[in-house]
Amino acid sequence: MIRFIVRRILWLVPVLLFVSLITFTLMHVTPGGPWDKDKPVSATVQANLNAKYNLDKPIWQQYLLYMNGVLHGDLGPSYTYQDRSVTSIILEGLPTTASLGGLAATLAVIVGVPLGILAATRQNTPLDYTALGFGTIFASVPSFVLGFVLIIVFALDLHAVPTSGWGKPAQYVLPVLTLGLNQAALLTRITRASVLDVNRQDFMRTARAKGMREALVVQRHLLKNALIPIVTVLGPILAVLLVGSLIVETIFSIPGIGRLLVQGITQRDYSLIMGTTLLYAFVIALLNLIVDVLYGFIDPRITYR
């Protein structure tokens, strides 16, 4: 397993290089630039700014200079916040984004997995139909639509929670529900399908024929064999929740990395876009690696040779 983990970690290098090259190329081939604002600067000031941020050099040289800085832990200066580095901006917003994603992931797991198991073990009952309805509705509604609906119901009509900010428990409710319910619905459907598939296998009928209690059948045989598909999708779901809160952070004015990325794209802040994109790519690749390692602990038949 150690060789497998080391090999996968080494593969992160070409993956991040490919992501950085694609992102850097797309930023520079898109029309416009970081100084194209409502009040454009003069040609002299623009030339000085280009020289300051190495934007007057060929694209390939700009890329090499930027990657050299990344190798030394420097993600470059921000064009929007000119007195701060991208590294400091990301480190400031990372705890907020991580806490939002962690709370949403917790909500998705504690709602989606048990609800999917209950729906599968009580197939064709009102509970099953309710779980299917929940999974269909909330998996189909985009997060930005759900966010606005929750704002209208719980903030504008009921005046129960605030609509923006981060730091107080009341401010967590709407963003966490907006981000977590969609993934909880997806987990419900996947868990239900996986448990139903395992429940129809011959070894399940054999275990019940031996007179084993239903609780033990579910615990020892059903859940253990149904976990593989659930864990497989759990990695991408966690990645989406931890780094995919761009729209939610913008809607609820949360000072996280997602909101910074949206601002960076709007302002054409090349360094900020590159830094957040590389962070997202690293988190997604790391979570996929963790999921692959978990396979061996869940099912001993899986080897890494």
In a domain, 16, yes or no: no
In a domain, 215, yes or no: yes
In a domain, 249, yes or no: yes
In a domain, 160, yes or no: yes
Q: How far is CA 10 from the centre of its chain?
A: 22
Range of the domain at 123: 95-256
| Average of per-residue pLDDT values in the chain | 83
Rounded CA gap, 211 and 214, in Å?
9
In a domain, 90, yes or no: no
In a domain, 19, yes or no: no
Q: Is the pTM of this model over 0.85?
A: no
In a domain, 189, yes or no: yes
User: Among candidates 267, 119, 250, which has minimal Cα distance to 195?
Assistant: 119
Q: What is the CATH number of the domain that holds 242?
A: 1.10.3720.10
Q: What are φ and ψ of residue 224, in 5° steps?
A: -60, -40
End-to-end Cα, the chain, rounded Å = 8
pLDDT digits (tens, 9 = 90+) for 199-250: 887 777 787 787 777 777 777 777 777 888 888 888 778 777 776 677 888 8
In a domain, 181, yes or no: yes
Name which residue leads in pLDDT, 186 or 256: 186
pLDDT digits (tens, 9 = 90+) for 60-74: 888 898 888 888 888
Please tell me the total count of domains within the chain: 1
Please answer whether residues 208 and 222 qualify as being in contact, where contact means their C-beta atoms are separated by less than 8 angstroms: no
